Structure 1
Amino acid sequence: MGLRAVTCDPRLFPADPTWASLNLGALICIECSGIHRNLGTHLSRVRSLDLDDWPGELTQVLAAIGNHMANSVWESCTQGRIKPTPNATREERESWIRAKYEQRAFVPPLPLPSGNLEDSMSELLLTAVTERDLLRLLLLLAHSTKDQVNTQPAGSSSFPRTALHAACQLGDVVMTQLLVWYGIDVKAKDNQGQTPMMIARKTGSKGCIDILLQHGCSNEASPTTATPILSRRSSTASLGRSSSKKRVS
């Protein structure tokens, strides 16, 4: 399928990968896919290139990131540790993959402004999105926890706007999907009382709207007034949407 052609450089993949980690944006072989699945979906969301459906937003994420960019974050500082070869045992693969994603052992340090990471993460994410810097966004997310992603700026009782508001304003499907996967509050309101869904509808980004609907946001296109008690009519909004050598990733 086209995803392989977009993200799979034959110089990097001696074998044909048949699986992908959605949130990491990387292609993986069938053996590594089992190890990734055991990490849990909070670390790696595994999907088959051939057996699963690929909505447009998922295709965009994988095509935008790819193994080279993903590894520039997750494998940047291996400190002399040698990556297993395609002939490595499962135990060697698992040790590497867990160190890489579970322990974040090879992620480069993050240059920080004044203050600590927890206080500044939401602002750093907002800046990365506003500047359309996908690589920096990936690095920030690799360093972050869900609590840090949703920490309000110091001294503020509400968000001026979050990185998700900015991503929806830009109609950036890739950044919107990544932020949602990493736990950003999809229902947060900016200082004008707008949710990300409201902004996505204003900008007409169907991709962003679809992502938000899939992750618990109401349609917000329907009237919000209560239905009169004596009325026998009602309406519902449908939210349905629905082996050769292997490379270690």
Structure 2
Amino acid sequence: MAGCEWGPPAFDADLSRWALLAGVARRRLAFEDRPGTEVILAVIVGWYLIQLGTLATGWETDRALWLFTTESFPQLSPGLFLAVISHAFPPNVTHLPGNAAFLWLFAGESEQHMHTSEVLAIFVVAGLCSVTISTALTGTNTLGASGSVLAFVGFLGAHLVVGHWGDLELHGGKYGTVDPRALRAYWQAAVLLLPIGVGVITVLQFGGVVEAGRTDVIGHLVGLICGVGYGIARAWWS
């Protein structure tokens, strides 16, 4: 009888955990409480369809560079501003999906700690700083939202450390495998470690230890620094 008495509650507990996890996944996929992130992703995907349209209509390379990249720097052109939402043409099929996935994850999480207007502002400001500085220092045109992506990675890690360190729980081993508290602990640990890992890799790339384009390295580093700086400043202001 004791087994029968304790069996159903244990089963119900496991079921409620999975239901809770499913609810978290649904809210993130539906962009609940993440309108700024949703807008950003809609813009970059919609703009990419326009890019593909220009490719299909046979635009010349010089014309595409003028509109989508920082090729004209320091002379003004639309590309100096549109580079942050533009992405590489096929056969490069990872540029846009990679940036979109990281934005969905880290911009969405960052939006839980700031206003929607801040999310949009960080995306634009960090992105423009990233592509402008990297172009100015290397003399090579660039494009893409990678700097903005890493700004959100840096912001989230720095903001949690400075503003919420006492609230963090990083050890999930004492909970069950599917316990939401364990997954939250693992996620918080990953959020703290990722900026460090990205920073180390970027420094190694900058030093030539790990092969990478110099323009990309500088742009990534600028974006990361922007995010970390804002994360620390905002935590102090709060």
- Bin the TM-score by the shorter chain: under 0.3
Larger radius of gyration: 2
TM-score of the superposed pair, with normalisation by structure 2: 0.24
Structure with more of its chain in helix, by fraction? 2
